[in-house]
Amino acid sequence: MKKSELVKEIKEKGTFLCVGLDTDIKKVPECVKGEEDPIFAFNKAIIDATAPYCVAYKPNLAFYESMGVKGWISFEKTIKYLNENYPKHFIIADAKRGDIGNTSMMYARTFFEEMNIDAVTVAPYMGEDSVTPFLQYDGKWVVLLALTSNKGSHDFQLTEDKDGERLFEKVLKRSQEWASDETMMYVVGATQGRMFEDVRKLVPNHFLLVPGIGAQGGSLEEVCKYGMTADCGLLVNSSRAIIYADSSERFAEVAAEEAKKVATQMAKILNDKQ
């Protein structure tokens, strides 16, 4: 999907919500556990219910891999279902991959050729040749980790070099030599608050994928105040707070209500911004 198409979707629907499909077999409601493929059944119900309120879905690979072959089958079925039924939704494989060139190329093949996924999250630690193999596909995206939402983000990402440049800033700068804002986005955690100002100084036009509202405690208002651009420039993710909002037979309905709540806030913010 091209950047202009994503922006168009956001403006038309008045939402920049990304629903995180972090589907844990230990957390899905009892009522889907009897299904042949409970993970896919759960995802399908969540997708159908939340699609009007979001523009993107982000399955985190860890949750599928933890179930081995079965999990991969559920993952592939979910991607296929999205592609067939919701082709305008942006799909992000949250995989946080990154390896030597030869190997990153294999990962890129998996996500972009085998499955028709729009974007993959990539870790920057191994540098340029671990990232560029993901950039060879037209209309596909790298979402590079910059400043993550977790406590450990402070361990290395904030390290200042001799000139006072922090590691996440170096990542934002260097990586712009590899790709433009048409094929690269960055992960910046909602929990980072005012740091969005610093991020925007370096990447004024890039889309940011923002995890950390909901269960992790980040604030949507703050993220938008400091991170929003004229093109919106944000995909704000919520996983647990939406998909596990209810564990009864009404789980999908309640997930839709939660997604709608966030989308309503988002519509207001987008409207105020204009």
| CA distances from residue 243 to 7, 45, 210, 236, 274 in whole angstroms, order as listed | 25, 10, 17, 15, 31
109 near a second copy, rule: CB under 8 A: yes
Pairing relationship of beta strands 184-188 and 208-210 according to DSSP bridges? parallel
Q: Using CB under 8 A, which of 35, 48, 76, 231 touches a second copy? A: 76
First-to-last CA distance in the chain?
24
CB of 81 to a second copy, least distance (A): 15
Query: Which of 135, 223, 121, 209 minimizes the C-alpha distance to 176?
Result: 135
162 vs 274, beta carbon nearer a second copy: 162
65 near a second copy, rule: CB under 8 A: yes
Q: Using CB under 8 A, which of 5, 12, 30, 155 touches a second copy? A: 155
Interacting stretch for a second copy, rule CB under 8 A, among 4-12, 105-113, 228-236, 263-271? 105-113
Please give the DSSP secondary-structure letter assigned to residue 19.
E
229 near a second copy, rule: CB under 8 A: no
30 near a second copy, rule: CB under 8 A: no
Phi and psi (nearest 5°) for 219? -105, 125
Q: Which of 96, 140, 162, 170 is catalytic?
A: 96
Neighbours of 5 (CB within 10 A): 12
Q: Using CB under 8 A, which of 40, 53, 57, 63 touches a second copy? A: 63
27 near a second copy, rule: CB under 8 A: no
Residue type, 60: N
Q: Using CB under 8 A, which of 138, 162, 272, 274 touches a second copy? A: 162
Annotated catalytic, 170?
no
Interacting stretch for a second copy, rule CB under 8 A, among 44-52, 144-152, 227-235, 266-274? 144-152
Query: Which of 61, 54, 75 minimizes the C-alpha distance to 6?
Result: 54
Phi and psi (nearest 5°) for 93? -85, 110
Q: Using CB under 8 A, which of 4, 66, 180, 248 touches a second copy? A: 66
Element (DSSP H or E) covering residue 91: strand 90-97
Helix (H, G, I), strand (E, B) or coil at 168: helix
Where on the chain is the footprint of a second copy (CB under 8 A)? 22, 24, 60, 62-63, 65-69, 72-73, 76, 94, 96-101, 103-104, 106-107, 109-110, 114-115, 123-131, 145, 148-157, 159-162, 167, 170-171, 174, 211, 216
Active-site residues: which are they?
A: 96
